[in-house]
Structure 1
Amino acid sequence: MKLTIKKRKNITRDIKQATFISIVILMIFLLVASNEITHYKVAITTQPLNGCLITDSLPCTDTSKKTISEPFLPDPKLNAQQRFLSVIASRLPTIPQSGTYEYILLRAYGAVFVNQDIGIKLPQKNIFANEQETQEFQDSLTMSHVDGTKDCYLQKSAADALNKARIQQQIPLKSGYGSGDCTRTFNTNLRFWYKYANNQILAKVQQGKETKILGLVAPPGTSQHLWGLAIDLRVSTKEQRKALNQNGWFQTVQHDVPHWTYMGLSEENLPLFGFNKQIVQGITYWITPL
């Protein structure tokens, strides 16, 4: 008789536990259905079991790792060149060999490859062969309009950062309005090249015998403007430069005064990535250490 009563008590307890669990599951379901629990909260709840889940609106967090929005900082024990290359190795499938045409272009225009902004897309190489190849890459980008312009578009993160800087300070485009200052087609890049140079100069650049021209115009298929991460501006004051720097925009092509590159980094972090600070005629350039 005592055994039977004990069994009944166990059965009653099990029923209560099952009922309680069912009620909890039902409450969670109702809350999710009514949007009381967001996807981000669910991700945080399940994170210990399923790993870090990324959402569109909030950074991925993990108690054992840095947030995804924080920059990857190279080993400070490495020299400047090694730090720079260690970062871009995760961006470029193949690092060009020293002395090659690709390496020369990486030295001149490769600053963007350290960009840590998860919202941007980088090319898999630093030379596009033709208009079709350029267009295929540009079609894969998320682009956004630069406020106050006619037809100036950049990759969204770059445009957002520029728009913030232009809220702080009035910063006009070089031309004052147009697409030629922003993301360019291959043919526009080609047209600009032949405005200032020719095939003979291109051959010398490819052989490493001429580099000064790279501070004036980019060879066909090599401009940062093709990637939606550069813009030409008319900047004349310290306040304008400060606003741009605070929003991740820097001058990275020496002697190309109007040219600004979206780096997505703070100025204090640039030396950590190996960049050399060079001041030429009062203008601060951040040059790759190659």
Structure 2
Amino acid sequence: MKLTLRTQKNITRFIRKISFISIVILMIFVLVASNEITHHKVAITAQPLQECLSNDSLPCIDTSKKTISEPFVPDPKLNAQQRFLSAIARKLPTIPQPGTYEYTLLRSYGAVFVNPDMRIQLPQKDIFANEQETQEFQATLTMGHIDGTNDCFLQKPAADALNKTRTQQQIPLKSGYGSGDCTRTFNTNLRFWRKYANNQVLAKVKQGKETKILGLVAPPGTSQHLWGLAIDLRVGSKEQKKALNQNGWFQTVQNDVPHWTYVGLPEENLPVFGFNKQVVQGITYWITPL
């Protein structure tokens, strides 16, 4: 009886060892098989691109997913207007139809919609109807203070870029001190409009019969200043202009000499996005191609 029990125990130990070894062998097999499958999949995925690169007659297109942070660059095969529209379509839900009042405003003030900085907040349309709409939008903005001013604020990326510029060159605000040169309220925009124009002029602008006024003052609810992306400055030297340009600031509203727009692009990239360079009385403007 004792011999039989000892034998049973030995058999049990033997079976356990065999089972353990079998499990280990099975795990190794699974890992090897999985590794082979993975390499096979990689080879299949890479093969078409390799074939394309080795064949000069094929147009090579990288279909891999791009990260969200990768900057957008318009298709160089498109004309200037198409490149500009393809860029702003990423920020503006509805592109106005040519000939409309909204399209006229986009032509004059739409440069900001190409800004690539993901921290920039842009309006969903290019006209605010009243003070309430303006305040609702401005409440969503993260603002930054312009150093050395009383109450001049811009959207933070724009403020940071201007503060950096002003460490390189002394560039005063147009008024010399404050808020009227920077982010404005709807009522301030309206007050400036009434200073230079009236309802009859506005009616002509809406009909497309008057556009020169847009280089002097923006109609109510349409100013880039409402968006925290524009500022009026006193700029006289080439060094000042160069410093502003190097930090993404450009003159984009023709004939509005003190007005600077934060586009956030290097100057060499402006033509890539469709901007037209126009020099008027020695001043370089980058105009939308609409």
- The bucket for the TM-score relative to the shorter chain is 0.7 to 0.9
Tell me what 1:163 maps to. Answer: 163
The answer to whether the aligner puts 1:106 opposite 2:106 as a matched pair is yes
The answer to whether the aligner puts 1:271 opposite 2:283 as a matched pair is no
The answer to whether the aligner puts 1:252 opposite 2:252 as a matched pair is yes
Where do 1:1-290 residues align within 5 Å? Answer: 1=11, 2-7=14-19, 68-290=68-290
| Cα separation, 2, equivalents of 1:65 and 1:166 | 39
Where 2:160 maps in the other structure, the secondary structure is helix
Deviation at 1:71, TM superposition (A): 2.8
Deviation at 1:7, TM superposition (A): 4.1
Task: Give the alignment's TM-score, normalised by structure 2.
Answer: 0.79
Deviation at 1:113, TM superposition (A): 0.7
| Cα separation, 2, equivalents of 1:66 and 1:241 | 35
Deviation at 1:3, TM superposition (A): 3.1
Count of matched residue pairs: 242
Amino acid at match of 1:286: W
Tell me what 1:22 maps to. Answer: none
Where 1:144 maps in the other structure, the secondary structure is strand
Amino acid at match of 2:167: I
| Cα separation, 2, equivalents of 1:263 and 1:187 | 25
Deviations 1:84-125 (A, max 9, x none): 111111211111111110010000000001111101100000
Deviation at 1:6, TM superposition (A): 3.7
Where 1:183 maps in the other structure, the secondary structure is coil
Amino acid at match of 1:174: K
Tell me what 2:27 maps to. Answer: none
Deviation at 1:9, TM superposition (A): 6.5
Amino acid at match of 1:155: Q
Amino acid at match of 1:154: L
Task: Give the alignment's TM-score, normalised by structure 1.
Answer: 0.79
Where 2:270 maps in the other structure, the secondary structure is helix
Percent identity between matched residues is 82
Q: Which runs of 5+ in 1 are unaligned?
A: 14-63
Answer with 64-73 or 238-247: which moved more: 64-73
| Cα separation, 1, equivalents of 2:234 and 2:155 | 20
Deviation at 1:67, TM superposition (A): 5.5
Amino acid at match of 2:85: L
Amino acid at match of 1:99: G
Deviations 1:172-194 (A, max 9, x none): 11011100000000000000001
Taking a change above 3 Å as real, the CA distance of residues 102 and 249 of structure 1, as seen in their structure-2 partners, is: same
Amino acid at match of 2:265: L
Contact 1:249–1:260 (Cα < 8 Å) also in 2: yes
Computing the radius of gyration from Cα coordinates, the structure with the larger value is 2
Contact 1:153–1:183 (Cα < 8 Å) also in 2: yes
Contact 1:69–1:117 (Cα < 8 Å) also in 2: no
